[in-house]
């Protein structure tokens, strides 16, 4: 299986997974990067997966259907998305590209956000999580509650440690600045910052990133750690409870520049 991160807009990634013949694309906010990749690799698009309804994730749907004909679209329906062929249920499994895929409901960024896990034989699982989880960060709460997002992140944190996280945005360096403010003495964080700075300087993506790494450096997955708790309590957390810590961190991050 080949995984491609197709740049779109200023900092989006459209993820395309293919086996040399057929392809699945996740969150095509623009059509042209997808069409170009299909032409370059002589691929047939067999399914479109949508995580949520924001325009930078669905803006290319109509153009793809116009160019390629009717391609099955899988995604949330409660958000009013047109053209959805199937609305997957939490835990539902699909066979795309001959792989076992699992769907997770991960509300928070939006109320009806989905994530997709591809189980690739002899390789680490792939998680396509839209705007729920970012490297060193998480999505803003546009519709869901802090409790919903915290629960969603906990679900993702419980996946196998070697899971490769395919986030929808290249926000890593900005997120790391906030993470270092929270945990300035985190040695793993210092090492990861240096790695990501080298990658971006070379015009390389910081993604995908393994869950094992995120559990060491992402403050939104570390709400039980003493340094993270102390930082959150200094910025409004009502208690050391991880859910309260998360809510304070997310509110703080909303105003961080």
Catalytic choice (52, 53, 112, 113): 52
The single residue of 27, 112, 113, 131 carrying the catalytic annotation is: 131
- Known active-site residue 11: no
Catalytic residue of the set 18, 53, 113, 169: 169
Binding residues for Zn(2+): 52, 54, 56-57, 109, 131, 169
Q: Tell me which residue of 79, 163, 216 sits closest to 155, measured CA to CA.
A: 163
Examine the residue annotation and report whether 235 is marked as an active-site residue of this protein.
no
54 is catalytic: yes
Choice among 54, 112, 188, 235 that is catalytic = 54
* 119 given a catalytic annotation: no
Catalytic residue among 18, 27, 53, 56: 56
Neighbouring CB atoms inside 10 A of 232's CB total 26
Q: Is 10 a catalytic residue?
A: no
Active-site residue, from 18, 109, 112, 113: 109
Sign of CA dihedral 247, 249, 252, 253: negative
Residues making up the binding site: 52, 54, 56-57, 109, 131, 169
Kindly name the residue from 27, 57, 112, 113 that is annotated as catalytic.
Answer: 57
Active site residues: 52, 54, 56-57, 109, 131, 169
């Amino acid at each position: 299986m080949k995984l491609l991160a197709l740049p779109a807009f200023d900092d989006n990634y459209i993820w395309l997974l293919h086996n040399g013949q057929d392809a699945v694309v996740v969150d095509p906010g623009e059509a042209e990067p997808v069409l170009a990749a299909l032409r370059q690799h002589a691929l047939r698009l067999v399914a479109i997966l949508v995580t949520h309804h924001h325009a930078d994730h669905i803006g290319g749907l109509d153009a793809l259907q116009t160019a390629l004909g009717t391609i099955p679209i899988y995604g949330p329906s409660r958000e009013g998305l047109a053209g959805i062929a199937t609305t997957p249920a939490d835990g539902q499994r699909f066979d795309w590209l001959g792989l076992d895929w699992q769907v997770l409901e991960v509300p928070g960024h939006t109320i009806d956000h989905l994530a997709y896990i591809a189980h690739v034989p002899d390789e680490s699982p792939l998680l396509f999580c839209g705007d729920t989880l970012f490297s060193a960060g998480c999505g803003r709460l546009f519709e869901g509650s802090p409790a919903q997002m915290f629960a969603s992140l906990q679900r993702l944190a419980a996946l196998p440690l070697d899971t490769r996280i395919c986030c929808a945005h290249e926000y890593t360096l900005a997120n790391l600045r906030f993470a270092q403010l929270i945990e300035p003495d985190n040695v793993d964080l210092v090492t990861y910052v240096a790695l990501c700075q080298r990658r971006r300087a070379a015009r390389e993506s910081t993604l995908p990133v393994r869950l094992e790494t995120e559990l060491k450096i992402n403050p939104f997955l570390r709400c039980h750690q003493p340094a993270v708790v102390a930082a959150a309590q200094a910025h409004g957390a009502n208690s050391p409870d991880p859910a309260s810590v998360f809510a304070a961190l997310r509110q703080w991050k909303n105003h961080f520049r």
